Amino acid sequence: MSNVVMIKPTVAQEDDVCIEVGSYKVVYAGHKSYSWRNGMKLRVLFRIIEGEHEGVVLARHYNIDRAKPSISAKKRSDLVREIQQVTERKIARTSRISIGVLAQHIIAVDVRTVNKAANGDQLHKINQYSVIGSVKGCVK
């Protein structure tokens, strides 16, 4: 069984959209792990569910220790902390993290705009894009 969930965004891909900075309600839309420099990352996709940008898919990137056979991260990592905020439960074993638990919740997130390249250069307005800056928790 794979940790990868295939998604089909209905409006826009997560890497080509720039929306207003702010808070949004989203649902989990999938995830995928990948190698980045000397480590592993996890890209979790969220779909906005209301307002002007309903249907837009944005990503949140997390540092992880490994992705196979199951996702593992440090207990003080953003991934672990944000899943615990959403589920309001402690993760007992951070060596086997289930991302799928996010699918059961409507989640409040803050969106930010990426305006600098990886090398620190300022991005032109046309090249700027939006990402999930942080996951705030479950919407009650």
Reported pTM: 0.84
Angle at 35 between CA 80 and CA 55, to 5 degrees: 65
Residue 10: predicted pLDDT: 46
pLDDT tens per residue, range 41-69: 999 999 999 999 999 999 999 999 998 88
Mean pLDDT on 98-122: 94
Residue 6: predicted pLDDT: 55
Q: What is the distance between the alpha carbons of residues 91 and 94, in angstroms, rounded to a whole number? A: 6
Could you state, in order of their start, the residue ranges of all structural domains in the chain? 22-138
Q: Say whether pLDDT at 105 is over 50.
A: yes
Mean pLDDT of the chain: 89
